[in-house]
Each structure stands twice: as C-alpha cells, then as structure tokens.
Amino acid sequence: MCGITGIVSNQPVRQRLYDALTVMQHRGQDAAGIVTWGEDGLRERKKNGLVRDVFHMRHMEKLTGNMGIGHIRYPTAGGARASEAQPFYVNSPYGIVLGHNGNLTNTDELAELLIREDRRHLNTGSDSEVLLNVFAHELQIRTDGEPTPEQIFDAVEAVHRRCKGGYAVVAMIVGVGLVAFRDPNGIRPLTLGRQERDDGTDYMVASESVALDVSQFERLRDVQPGEAIFVGKDRVLHSRKSASTVRHTPCIFEFVYFARPDSIIDDLSVYKTRLRMGEQLAGKIVRDFPEHDIDVVIPIPDTSRTAAVQVAHHLGAKYREGFIKNRYIGRTFIMPGQAERTQSVRRKLNAIDLEFRGKNVLLVDDSIVRGTTSRQIIKLAREAGARKVYFASAAPPVRHPNVYGIDMPAASELIANGRSEEEVQELIGADRLIYQDLHGLIRSVRHDNSSITEFDTSCFSGEYVTGDITDDYLHELEQRRNDKAKQQSGTASQQFIGSDDLSVEQSQAVGSL
C-alpha cells in the first residue's frame, strides 16, 4: 500500500506536498519522495525512511517549483532498496515523473514487451517503473511537439488496455502539466480537490481526502474508475473517461484497515463505515452468542476503536481502553517477517491489569490476517488476569491473497486459509471467536445512498474482480513474496514498515543525508 499526491499551483508546492505525505504516512513507511518542477527545472528528494526523516530544511529549500508530486511507499513488488523509492523518472519523452499506488498483475509480461518491442530499459523490479515506461512509450508514439490533453488521454487509454491490476497514478510531464488516473475497477483510491486563490485555482490529487484537508483544499470528487485528469501549467483542468469498460469495485480493505477514519473515499465516510461495522458485528454476536457473559469490550488499538464502541453500546457492556500502545512500534500486520511480528507485539502493547482482572473480556480487532498479533494479545489479556477472553473481528476471515497492492500475498501465511473458524479460535487461544459476515461488512461500507454496488472482496471471498488471476499466478506470487523469500532477498532487513513513528534508533538509521 502506498500514498500518492500531486499539486499544480502558481505558488511553491513543496510544503503542501510534505504535509500531504505526512498525514498519509499510515499508507507506507518504507520510503518517501517529492519531485517538483519550476524555473530551476526538476528538483528531487527521495530516500528510505519516514517523511520527517527524509525531508529536512536543507532538502525542502531545494524543492523549488509550482508543480510537483509526492509518494510514500511500502513494497509489495520490487524490493526496499533506496533505488526503488518513488517517484520514478524517465527522460523521454519530455521527462516524466510518476508515482503509483497499487499492483500490476501482468508485470512480467509487460516488462518483457517493453524491453523487446518498445526498446526501453528497466532499472528495478518495481511494477511502478513498468507502468511509467508503458505510459511514456504510449505518449511518445502519439506526439511530435507539446502534447495536447487529448493525446495524453489517448496514452492513458492505451495504458488501461495494456496494464492489468489495481492502480492509482499521479505523473508530472516536465514543462507540460500533471496527469492522474485510476484503474478501470477503481480498486485503489484517488481524490481530486481545488483551492481558490487570488491568482486563480490550484488543483490537487491524493490517495485520501485528509491530504486535501491539511492544506485547505476543497474536495471536489473522486477520480472515477478509468478516468484521467490533466491539469496543465496554465492550471486548467481537463478530464476524460479513458477506459472502454469500467466496473467500479473499490477495495473494501481500505475501509476495514488502511484508510484514516477521517477520510472520504468514493463518497463514503471511513469513520461511518467503521461505526456500522461495529453495529453489524454486535448483531452477529447477539445471534451467535445470545447468552453471552461479556463484562467489558476492549479494542485492539487503533483501527478497531470506532467499531468497538458500537459493539459495546449495542451489547450493553462497558467499553474500556485496556491496552496502551507504544506508537514507536510498527504495524505488525505489514511487518516483513514472522519473528519480527511476534517480537513487536509485546513492545507495541501493554495491558492495564485492572481492566482485565477477573473479567470476561471481549477483544475487538479490525481483522485477523496472520493471527500472530491476535494470539499474543490474547495471551497478554490472560496474563493480566482475564477470566475468559473472547475475540471478535470486524472483518470476515482473511483466507486469500490480495494481489492489488496490499502485502498479504502468501496464502500459507494467512491463519484462516484452509481452516474453519473453530480451528482459528483454537490456534489463537480464544475462548470464543466471532467473525463478521461478508454480507454484513458490505452492508457496513455501502450505505443506502451509495452508487457503488460491489467491492473488491478478494482477500475474503477469493473472487478477483479483474478476472485474470489464475492458480498458477497465485502460486508464483507466493513463492516470490512469502516471508522466506523476503528474508532471502534482504527486504526484511532493509524495510521500515510501521505506524506513524519509529524509535529514535530506527529514525537515525534511516535519517536524511
């Protein structure tokens, strides 16, 4: 999962790009980058680490220009080397800089064609570089001078024909303008905003609306599936549907876990969807466990708090904060190795004994992926004196890999894969395990006024909305991206994936030059 943003203005954009990346830091903590363009030409700063560590004052001062794009990353394709930090750049045609959120599912095929037929060179194993070169090639064969909006849109249309998977893209064509587009399924989010100024209108795109909020941009709308946006250096907005066929199926896991609760994605409030997830989960508990003896509901911080409050309310039980979170430890779900995940849980959470001692406790989490965190947290609750420990997941069992940009590709590492709910309950050590139903989750996210009728639920259902995912593809993906493969490639020792902060020692390790 990554975060992207781009701004076209008549004023310097560096601070607003920095602020946007900072509020989207939850989307990726492996690397950060900003590229700007102005009278001094292209200016770039990118490096492994958190936004605050990558950009110091001396770097910000050099990022001159009134147009720019930014990117924050954690790797699902390629590696975690500094050379694979985004945005990526190619010098032909014009000079194009691109940042990408998502994952292409036909990367190998595209890479081979780019090298053999398009005569382009690839420096990394990143699918984002492949996507950039596809766009650059398609634009080059259509233009013989400064590209028109229609030529740019034609190039994006060709990208949609060639590229499969989930992707949201922001690109800057040097001296021309800003381009943003979204895959025909709208799997990965992208929103558009504007800011009226005395000298005209500034435009901004970002993965989440919170990035618009922090710089006081008005949220206009989401970029539609298959739509391309172009804002020239004259700050005139152009848009066109650039895919012949669209089917709007946004990733439902954005609402479960990844997005900030104060974001609006596809006109849906993440906060409200999580409230409804709690309501639906409470209903499931009442149906499956009508004679429950729950004394207190305790959330696993932070994502599950909104749902847990509603669960407690509807069950008539007390809501308490039973765990204190160390905010300098990473998100264990996306940490690179099993040993790191297990070790980090106790460093990450500490139990308040008085909330557990002698009580029947219901722990609520947003989801259960590998089960490492759940098992360790239940153990913490028992050590704190809980009489019984029940566990509820606001999402259904995660049984299948996600291939569209979320780093849970290895089915063998998913605790619910090939197991019943009772078997998962035994493995994590809960006295009772309650999962949300998939239809309940969909109802939670899709409210009555939503125009969206379906979602990408592949990690729960195994149904892949792009229609091109085979068993062979999933097997090959697992061999490439399971924990063992990451450790052998060195990814696990290099990447820093976590919550909004790292320890002082880690920050120094990835600090700026």
Residue 328 pLDDT grade (very low, low, confident, very high; cuts 50, 70, 90): confident
- 192-201 confidence digits (pLDDT tens): 999 999 999 9
How is 402-430 classified by DSSP, letter by letter?
Answer: --SS-S---GGG-TTTT--HHHHHHHHT-
pLDDT for 500 equals 29
Q: For residue 53, give every residue at least 6 positions away whose Cβ sits within 8 Å of its Cβ, in sequence order, or none.
A: 507, 510, 511, 512
| Strand segments (E) across 266-402 | 268-269, 296-299, 318-319, 323-325, 349-351, 360-365, 388-393
Residue 506 pLDDT grade (very low, low, confident, very high; cuts 50, 70, 90): very low
Residue 423 pLDDT grade (very low, low, confident, very high; cuts 50, 70, 90): very high
Nearest to 103 by CA among 484, 396, 477: 477
Identify the residue with better confidence: 408 or 142.
142
pLDDT for 52 equals 96
Residue 510 has pLDDT above 50, yes or no: no
- 69-113 confidence digits (pLDDT tens): 999 998 654 455 667 899 999 999 999 999 999 999 999 999 999
Q: How far apart are CA 78 and CA 82, in angstroms?
A: 11
pLDDT for 479 equals 83
Give the HSE-up count for residue 439: Cα atoms under 13 Å, Cβ half-sphere. 2
Largest CA distance in the chain: 76
Residue 342 pLDDT grade (very low, low, confident, very high; cuts 50, 70, 90): low
Residue 186, phi-psi category: left (phi > 0), alpha (psi -120 to 50), beta (remainder): left
Runs of H (alpha helix) within 299-457: 305-315, 338-348, 372-383, 421-428, 438-445
Q: How far apart are CA 485 and CA 487, in angstroms?
A: 5
- 430-476 confidence digits (pLDDT tens): 999 999 999 999 999 998 667 898 999 999 999 999 999 999 999 98
Average pLDDT over the chain reads 90
Q: What is the mean pLDDT of residues 210-231?
A: 98
- 2-61 confidence digits (pLDDT tens): 999 999 999 999 999 999 999 999 999 999 999 999 999 999 999 999 999 999 999 999
- 344-384 confidence digits (pLDDT tens): 677 889 999 999 999 999 999 999 999 988 999 999 999 99
Does residue 2 carry a catalytic annotation? yes
Q: How far apart are CA 513 and CA 503, in angstroms?
A: 18
DSSP code at position 223: P
Lowest mean pLDDT, pick from 8-22, 114-128, 204-218 = 114-128
How is 202-221 classified by DSSP, letter by letter?
Answer: EEEEESSTHHHHHTTPEEEE
Residue 130 has pLDDT above 60, yes or no: yes
**Cα dist. 201→15, 121, 233, 293 in Å?**
17, 38, 12, 58
Q: What is the mean pLDDT of residues 212-219?
A: 98
pLDDT for 509 equals 31
Q: How far apart are CA 175 and CA 262, in angstroms?
A: 35
DSSP code at position 49: S
Nearest to 205 by CA among 2, 38, 68, 52: 68
Interhelix angle 270-288/305-315, nearest 10 degrees: 40
Set 2, 163, 251, 459: catalytic member? 2
